[in-house]
Amino acid sequence: MGQRLQREYRVPTNLLIVDDNEEHLDLMVEILKEDTRYNLYKAASGEEALEVVADNDIQIVILDVVMPGMDGYEVCRQIRREYRLKPIQIVMISGFNHKNDLDELLELGADDFISKPITALELQARLKAAVIRLRDQTKVFGAIEEDAHSEGKNLSTLVAENLQLRQEYQKVRRINEELQESCHQLEQLASLDTLSGLLNRRTLFKRIEIEIERTGRLDWPLTGIMIDIDHFKRINDNFGHQCGDLVIQEIGARLNRSLRKYDYAGRYGGEEFFVVFSNTDAATAQTISERFRTDMQQTRFTCGDENFTVTVSIGVAQFTPGESPGRWISRADGAMYKAKQRGRNQVVVS
């Protein structure tokens, strides 16, 4: 029989966790054991899970899909068949991410799913959503029962009709979530330069306008740097455009790895890059730029049979309140050209 683990809350929710993997089962119990909103039960097999549901007023079931013997699909199917008049929430645990697999879970009667590997944050969030659905569906079942009495219909018939509507709603919800995710991905792709992986020029200028507005509102410093690859034409001429592309890709990757989440980098031109440092003064940006310049100088590129090094020239300009975006960028660009004139491979502050 399933082991009852906790009962310390005024009106706790009875929660059953089902997983044949003892380590995974213990992990979920460990995450939830101090949460007094739940009475925890656990089961290590599908057969044991059905016994626990039969002997206790289980309201939420967290159910692993892949188990020996009776798998999660069959457990879900039997719970829905045997307890169709109860609003039990079933949250499936699945390593699947293919749409057909998720559709099958929902068609079986699952209310939601948790992807592997399980994290505490997602587990708690999914359970919170399950409790909300449980509360709402309990009200719906109560209303259905009242309708059944008033209309003289069989209660199970009305419940079955509503369950079918719920499953159709879940399918539509899943499709909408997928569409939203696809739109988000398309928006990201449209905002990026395909070669460097940084913001493209159009998106970079939009971000610059946003950061200028923010720095004026919050009264903090804003600094930009212009990075230019030294002798980039020679790289293309001597080693080929594929090697030149490799350098641009590497600079983009390094900038993406090193920037804070509130800094932004974009490809300004062919071999030029502009970086926006929020809440950063020129002295700090100069230090960051020197570190980046040194790292690039010490990097050896291998492209086919060719080995070569690359240097960059960098101009730093702190934004002056009241100046236009074009003027600010022009000052950073001018400082970068001074670095070129002074011999390249150096940082100059406007």
Catalytic position from the list 8, 271, 272, 323: 271
* C-alpha count within 13 angstroms, C-beta hemisphere, residue 200: 10
Q: Is the peptide bond before 117 cis (omega within 30 degrees of 0)?
A: yes
> Is-catalytic flag, 8?
no
What is the widest separation between alpha-carbon atoms in the chain? Answer: 93
Alpha-carbon gap, residue 247 to 58, rounded angstroms: 59
Q: Are strands 38-43 and 3-4 parallel, antiparallel or unpaired?
A: antiparallel
List of residues 6+ apart from 7 with CB closer than 8 A: 39
Q: Position of tokens 């399933």?
A: 2
What one-letter code names the amino acid at 32? L
Burial of residue 184 (number of CB atoms within 10 Å: 0-12, 13-18, 19+): exposed
Alpha-carbon gap, residue 101 to 2, rounded angstroms: 28
Active-site residue set:
271
